[in-house]
Amino acid sequence: MMAGVALLFAATIPVPRSDAAARLGAGRLSDPRDVDYLNTLAKDTWSCIAGMAHPATGMPYDSKEHNPNTSVSNVGIYLTCIVVARDMGIIAPIEAERRINQTLSSIEKLRTWHGFQQCWNDVATLEPAANDRSISVLDTGNFVGGLLTVAQACPKFSDRVHKITAAMRWQDFYDQQTGLVIGGFKTDSLEFIKTWQLNSLGYDSQLAQFLAIASGAAPPTMWDKLDRSTDKRCGAVFMSPAWKGGGLFLQYIGGLWLDNRGTFLARSAKNFAYSQIIYARQIGSPAWGWSSCANPNNHGYMGSGDLKDEVVTPHCAALAIEDFPEEAIKCLRSIETTGIRTPDQGFYDSVNLKTGEKSNTFLILDQGMLLISLGNYLRDNCVRGYFQADPLVKRGRQLIREYSDQAYANSLMIALPDANAGPGVVS
C-alpha cells in the first residue's frame, strides 16, 4: 500500500482557513508541466476510448469488458470525445469524420419509439437490448448533447444529425398533470413510466429537461419549478442528493455541453466540489473524488447511495478542474501514486485508498467525462462552444430566464452562497 493511503483515517478535525487559503484554486494553471500532464492524460484517455468502439459499428462498449450492450448516453459521450480528440490534435480531422460517420450510420439503424431510441442496444447487432426494454429520457439528453456537438463541429453531418433529433417527440413525454417530464417509456408494453418524473435540478437529468423546453414540449416555467432542495457539508451549500446520491458527476455532467456559468446549477456543482476537497482534508485522505464508479476489485458498480470515504474516482477531479484547477491537478497526481494510471490508457476507474485495491476496468462514461472536461478546459470551452451554437440550444437559452437574464440568475443564487468566497472555519 502506498504511504499516502494510510492517511485516510486520520483524526477528523475542523480545518481553519486564513484569508490567503480561503480561495482554493482561483485562476488557471500556470505551471507548463501541469498543462503538459493534462494534455498527456487526455491523449492516453482518448487511446482507451478509441479502443472501446466496436470495429464494425463504431458504437462504444460500456466498459473494458466489452459486454454486448451500450447506452445512448455512452454514444453521446463517445461522439463528443471524437470532437475533443480532433480539436486537441490527438487525431486528424479525416479520422474524426470517419468515426463520426460510422457511428451515425449505426444510430440511423436503431429502432425508435416516439422518435426516441431505446436506452440500451446491442453494440454489434444494433438490436434493442432484451434485458432493459425502455427509453430513458435522461440518457437521451446526453445522447443529444453529443449529436448537436457533432452537428456544429462537423457541419457536413448537420443534416443527418438534425433529422435524428427532429424526430424526437419530446412533447409525448411532457406530463400535463404534473407539469414535469416523464423519465421513461417501456418499449415492450408501450407504456410511459409516469412514476418516473424528472422533478429535480440536482440530478443528471438537467440536459433532458433543458431540451424538453428548448423543443417547445415543456413550458419555460418548468425550469423554475424543478426542485432545488439543498444540503450542507464542510461550510458549503449545494443541491441534493449530492453525497446521498451518485456524487459529483450528477451536477457536472450536463455542463459538459450546456454552458451553465452564472447559474444556480454551476454554483451548486462548484460548492459540492469544494465540500469534497475540504472533506478530504478533514478525514486525512490523500485524494478526493466521490462519485458513482466501478467498485474496486471488480465488486460491481457503486451507484446512488453507495459512496464510500475510501473509494475515489479520478474523473471527479477533471469535472471540477475549471473551478479548482490547482486542487484538481494535485488530486490527479495523488491518485496516480496509488498505481491506477496505466502506461497509455489513462486511469482505471477507481481505487480504494484504504486497501489499495483498484477497479481494473475502464467505463466509457467516466473516461469520456474526464476527456471532455479536459477538452473544455484546455481548448477554450470547445464542446460548450459547439453546443451553444446549435439553433435548438439557442432557443432554450432564450426561453429559460435563468440563462437569458443574469440579474435574475444572480437573485436565485442568494440561497447558495459561494463557499469559496471568504474566510472562516469549515465545520
Class of domain 3-417 (CATH, top level): mainly alpha
Q: Which residues lie below 8 Å from residue 31, measured CB to CB, with a gap of 6+?
A: none
Contact status, residue 381 vs residue 389, Cβ threshold 8 Å: no
| Residue-level pLDDT at 1 | 31
d(CA 347, CA 200): 31
Pick from 237, 268, 338, 355: nearest CA to 347: 338
| Residue-level pLDDT at 18 | 33
d(CA 289, CA 285): 10
d(CA 415, CA 313): 30
Contact status, residue 170 vs residue 215, Cβ threshold 8 Å: yes
The answer to whether the peptide bond before residue 296 is cis (omega within 30 degrees of 0) is no
d(CA 388, CA 83): 15
User: Strands, DSSP E only, in 22-137?
Assistant: 69-71, 112-113, 116-117, 120-122, 134-136
Dihedral sign computed on CA atoms, order 324, 330, 334, 336: positive
Strands 174-175 and 180-182: antiparallel
d(CA 307, CA 302): 7
- Cell numbers placing 223: 425550469
| Residue-level pLDDT at 110 | 98
d(CA 229, CA 238): 8
Domain range summary for the chain, segments of one domain joined by +? 3-417
pLDDT in tens, the chain (427 residues): 333 444 444 433 334 333 333 456 557 898 999 999 999 999 999 999 999 999 999 999 999 999 999 999 999 999 999 999 999 999 999 999 999 999 999 999 999 999 999 999 999 999 999 889 999 999 999 999 999 999 999 999 999 999 999 999 999 999 999 999 999 999 999 999 999 999 999 999 999 999 999 999 999 999 999 999 999 999 999 999 999 999 999 999 999 999 999 999 999 999 999 999 999 999 999 999 999 999 997 778 888 888 999 999 999 999 999 999 999 999 999 999 999 999 999 999 999 999 999 999 999 999 999 999 999 999 999 999 999 999 999 999 999 999 999 999 999 998 899 998 854 333 3
Per-residue buried b or exposed e for 149-158, using 16+ beta carbons within 10 Å of the residue's own CB: bbbbbbeebe
**The pTM is what?**
0.94
Q: Which residue has the cell 474516482?
A: 313
| Residue-level pLDDT at 297 | 77
The residue type found at 346 is G
Q: Which residues lie below 8 Å from residue 312, measured CB to CB, with a gap of 6+?
A: 285, 287, 288, 289, 290, 335, 350, 351, 353
